[in-house]
Amino acid sequence: MFKNKVIRYSTIAMIIAILAYFIIENFSGAGLNGASEDQIASNPEQYKTTILNERAAKDEQFRTTEDSPIADKESFHGLHYFQPDLTYRIKANISPYMKDDKEVVVNYTDGTSEKYEKYGYANFKIGDQEEKLLLLKNESVISVLFKDATSGKETYGGGRYLDYPVSEIKNNVIILDFNKAYNPYCVYQESYACPVPPKENTLSVAILAGEQLESAVHN
């Protein structure tokens, strides 16, 4: 999720697809998206291995490609994350947004804005806490832009993102895998413009999953 020289979330989707294709350690060769929830729940170590492999592939992409937001690639030693935890892979039921005001303007960190569509609300529980997140649609991508109780502490204060192809949503159900929550590119380079999560997408709980800030790890 970023804007810079017309590079945008379509590139993120492409990167995710490339990473998924080249992961060797997958569930029966199908990847996390192809595995059933029962398969994943019964084999947490395989799930952890797959997540760690995806992260290693992303580090390699950041270290070697022209589209990387890392300016000093020679000193780049990898991104920082919470350990994979199936607690934060959550099935959410979607309440489709049915009102006429579906169009919403999302502000970007550089003062610009972009029009998105309100797709619906993902309703889920973390522990005993009921939560919901507004899902935003642009082209064929569903974006989950959120903050939580770790924002500005262990994680980036501007929030983190999850992206899903619309085709991955079945029967108004989405799997929110916060282990894949990532920082926007503007965290690494100010020339990128990144969407600001809607105010209503601030969770009351701490999402101890996904990407962290380097400063939080080393301090």
Q: Where are the domains of the chain?
A: 9-218
Can you tell me the mean pLDDT for 174-200?
96
The per-residue pLDDT for 217 is: 76
pLDDT over 90 at 65, yes or no: yes
pLDDT tens sequence across 10-47 = 344 444 544 444 443 344 444 565 567 878 888 899 99
DSSP one-letter code for 180: G
What are the CA-CA distances from residue 144 to residues 64, 83, 121, 137, 156 (Å)? 27, 21, 10, 9, 15
pLDDT tens sequence across 74-115 = 999 999 999 999 999 999 999 999 999 999 999 999 999 999
Can you tell me the mean pLDDT for 169-198?
96
Can you tell me the mean pLDDT for 172-187?
97
Please name the residues in contact with 190: beta carbons below 8 A apart, sequence gap of 6 or more. Answer: none
Can you tell me the mean pLDDT for 49-61?
97
Please name the residues in contact with 159: beta carbons below 8 A apart, sequence gap of 6 or more. Answer: 145, 146, 147, 151, 184, 196, 197, 201
The per-residue pLDDT for 32 is: 61
The per-residue pLDDT for 34 is: 56
DSSP one-letter string for 25-78: S-GGGSHHHHS-HHHHHH-HHHHHHHHHHHHHHHHHHHHH-TT-S-S-GGG---
Q: How far apart are CA 202 and CA 133, in angstroms?
A: 8
Does residue 189 contact residue 102 with C-beta atoms inside 8 Å? no
Provide the pLDDT confidence category of residue 3 given band limits of 50, 70 and 90. low
The per-residue pLDDT for 38 is: 79
Query: What pTM did the predictor assign?
Result: 0.86
Does residue 16 contact residue 163 with C-beta atoms inside 8 Å? yes
Provide the pLDDT confidence category of residue 6 given band limits of 50, 70 and 90. very low
Which residue reads 């996390």 in tokens? 32
Question: What does the mean pLDDT of the chain come to?
Answer: 87
Q: How far apart are CA 57 and CA 53, in angstroms?
A: 6
Can you tell me the mean pLDDT for 183-195?
94
pLDDT tens sequence across 108-139 = 999 999 999 999 999 999 989 999 999 999 99
